[in-house]
Structure 1
């Protein structure tokens, strides 16, 4: 979405912001005393560039467009161009921090340039540390007042001597991230201790987009537990570091560039409010969130897909509609799986061969309409409400991904009901022709 210049301009989203819009956002943030930390991926998560034929030669592994061959001179120039484009506008408004990403780089040491560089760095792990160090050094040399942040996971298993060799403790502040409900399992004390030589560290939680790639409805309970677990973690380790700078509360739109949309912001705003209140209090609130109630004018439930009515916040109608959609889709799934009438008399056989019982079809039709009409209404209302906030293609993608299949199934059943109802007679059995049966080869 960032309006990159030069050769990077060919890779930007068709809906990318203009530079004027970026500056307007930064100015508004400054006015409201919000500090924006720019993040540029400098190792992995670069599908948005590497998927394109123009940049495919810069992949670490030619099959996978996730990780850039950062040892290659052309790739390094591209990384520096990204950093400079983003920093150029952010520094106008103050840029105390710059995040260089550097997480989840699963393909390393494969491209020719990396293989050659490993001969100098001696291992894949040291190759990654070398790149993180030189990237951080590049940022700090160009912007001396800026502290560099990097995700922790590519450094967490490094030997202390390697960390020292690359002077990483002088160059970066690690951001330990995990979005699970029980961090004792996924972020044990041993991980913190591996990074204890860094004087300053950050934590990173999540309030949306981290509870399954296709989670589109509200599941506040997961994120509240994540933040409660972060309170426990920070209480446990704060004495081991000079400074714990803070907790970065992340909200993700997708798991990666190719994944489907996760929760939209309106669906997750109540979760954000509850999570922030939990962190500010520094303890579990056991469902009592007075600040959230005051802000939203409702008490959002924590359970999956449930919604509070009467909430008043930007996008609250979308929050209500999407969670209502989730509940109705769960009812439809139960109906499709368990109802003996629809499975017995409006099956695939009925769809394909237009044979069934009129008596049962009349009963089933009422149930199909009972499920179809509310979902069609929700689709119409959602499109209207989302149009106030989102690009049209985002709305189309959301409805196609999460509602399209159910509506297609319901409309298919409507067509079958109509055809069967109009039929005056039916053929002799067998209905299923051998030529169409599964596993039959026809010459």
Structure 2
């Protein structure tokens, strides 16, 4: 989404932000006392660039655009060109103290003929050194940050010998509740011997399923609370303690993955987790503060005369997505947040309908449809709810457009509808077509029905 130009123009999306839009975002951040830290992928997760023919020669594995080859000079030139364009635009609007250079999940490393003879850890550490070297030559006051996962299994001696502790600060990311399961105590001991400080990274959305459409606020809040405990425990080990905690919010698992939770659906989860992370705890008083911040009815509101005040309704155990709690609040994105509950209900209804119609009942199974052989009375019974379900999904698709028009561009709206709603619409239309074909038949042959011809490949003898 960055408006790359020149030799990098081919990696910019057709709907990338304009330079003016980015400058506007940066100015708005500054006005609201927010510090922007750009992130540029420099090793793995480079699918957005390496998928293009112009950069295929930089791939570590020819068949896959996931990671670039660190042994090519042109790889470093490419990375430095990306960094320069991002930094030049960002520094035009504000001071940039940090640059995140990614380096997580480099799944393909040490595979090509140039890299095969080198240890993977050596390849990784040398590439980080090279990227940081180019950055500090051009932007000496900017401190590089990297994700930590590729360092977790690197021996302490190798990290110390590489000098990486003087070059970058690690951002330790775990999005599950059990932090120590993924980063045990001995890893913290290693990190603190190499780095003077570290960042932690939790999540408020996009971490518990590639196709989820609304965050599980309960799990994200617990993730952040557990991080606070770990930071309290591990901070004394570092010379400068922890630099901070980052609440990440992923919208895709990688460039080729479908959309997961959109930001408007995640505002309540962000509010809960941000309140906990900034205060260091979470209790009933803070939940009330979140409700006030997100425009929820107060106990004195006339709307609460018929219902209990919002503060008495919060229950993450029974309402982990917070639909009941925040469903009648007024915050940016609230209409789409409410719509996700409608989607949740609709998906469950369609799933049950399809299961009943095509699997559990015996008159519209794939066998019945292939042989066009069923009882009209039963077909009518099974499809009685079909028109209602179809109208509901069509209404949901139109409501999605209305809810997202002020937030997302047409491409994002279209992708989300195609991903979340359109498949069920097509499935119901297929049921409708099959039902009509079954109902159009007025006479039927005597049993047994002729075996399916394709079964011959399994040894079924055709009569």
TM range (shorter): over 0.9
**Which sits farther off after the overlay, 162-171 or 70-79?**
162-171
1:224-373 residue pairs with structure 2 within 5 A? 224-241=221-238, 242-285=240-283, 289-298=287-296, 302=316, 303-304=319-320, 307-308=323-324, 309-338=327-356, 343-373=361-391
> Are 1:169 and 2:129 matched, yes or no?
no
d(CA) in 2 for partners of 1:41 and 1:138? Answer: 14
Matched, 1:210 2:207: yes
RMSD between aligned alpha carbons?
2.3
Instruction: Please tell me whether residue 111 in structure 1 is matched to residue 112 in structure 2.
Output: yes
Q: 1:286 to 1:56 in 2, by over 3 A?
A: farther
Specify the alignment match of 2:416 in structure 1. 398
Structure 1 residue 244, shift from structure 2 partner: 0.6
Range moving further from structure 2, 358-367 or 95-104 = 358-367
Q: Which residue of 1 aligns with 2:402?
A: 384
8 Å CA contact retained: 2:275, 2:286: no
C-alpha distance in 2 between matches for 1:428 and 1:370: 35
Kept in 2: contact 1:307–1:324 (CA 8 A): no
Sort the Cα spacing of 1:363 and 1:115 in 2 relative to 1 into closer, same or farther, 3 A. closer
1:346–1:436: structure 2 CA closer, same or farther, 3 Å change rule?
same
- In structure 2, do the counterparts of structure 1 residues 438 and 366 end up closer, same or farther at CA, with 3 Å as the change threshold? farther
What's 1:182 paired with? 178
C-alpha contact (below 8 Å) 2:204/2:220 kept by paired residues? yes
Q: Determine if contact 2:357/2:382 at 8 Å carries over to the other structure.
A: no
CA positional deviation for 1:430 = 3.4
The structural deviation recorded for 1:191 is 1.8
Whether the 8 Å contact between 2:206 and 2:251 is mirrored in structure 1 is yes
- 8 Å CA contact 1:136–1:148 kept in 2: the answer is yes
What does the per-residue CA deviation read over 1:396-426, in whole Å, with 9 as the maximum and x for residues that have no partner? 2112222222111111112223333333323
Once residues 404 and 412 of structure 2 are traced to their aligned partners in structure 1, the CA distance between those partners, rounded to angstroms, is 9
Shift of 1:304: 5.0
Q: Which sits farther off after the overlay, 44-53 or 150-159?
A: 150-159
Cα distance in 2, alignment partners of residues 319 and 430 from structure 1? 53
CA 1:152–1:27: 2 relative to 1, 3 Å: same
Whether the 8 Å contact between 2:50 and 2:65 is mirrored in structure 1 is: yes
Q: Distance in 2 between matches of 1:268 and 1:51?
A: 30
Alignment of 1:89-100 (within 5 A): 89-92=89-92, 93-100=94-101
How far apart, CA to CA, are the structure 2 residues paired with 1:236 and 1:24? 40
1:237-257 per-position Cα deviation (integer Å, ceiling 9, x unaligned): 111112211001111110001
Displacement after TM superposition at 1:338 (Å) = 4.8
Give the conservation status (yes or no) of the 8 Å contact 1:342–1:364. Answer: no
Q: State which of 214, 219, 225 in structure 1 corresponds to 2:216.
A: 219
CA distance 1:430–1:306, shift in 2 (3 Å): farther
| Aligned length, in residue pairs | 438
Tell me if 1:425 matches 2:426.
no
Question: Alignment partner for residue 409 of structure 1, among 427, 437, 444?
Answer: 427
Question: 1:297-345, CA deviations, whole angstroms, 9 ceiling, x for partnerless residues?
Answer: 3367644556132221122111111222122212322343356996322
Q: Give deviations 1:86-112, integer Å, cap 9, x for gaps.
A: 011112211011111111112222234
Cα deviation code 1:38-65 (max 9, x no counterpart): 0111110001111122211111111221
Task: Could you tell me which runs of 5 or more consecutive residues in structure 1 were left unpaired when the two chains were aligned.
Answer: none
Contact in 2 for aligned 1:305/1:323 (Cα 8 Å): no
Partner deviation per Cα, 1:368-405 (whole Å, 9 max, x = no partner): 23433222211121122222221222222112222222
What is the aligned partner in structure 2 of residue 55 from structure 1?
Answer: 55
Aligned pair in 2 of structure 1 residues 434, 420: CA closer, same or farther (>3 Å)? closer
CA distance in structure 2 between the partners assigned to 1:304 and 1:433 by the alignment: 50
**The 10-residue stretch of structure 1 (93-102 or 281-290) with the greater mean CA deviation from structure 2:** 281-290
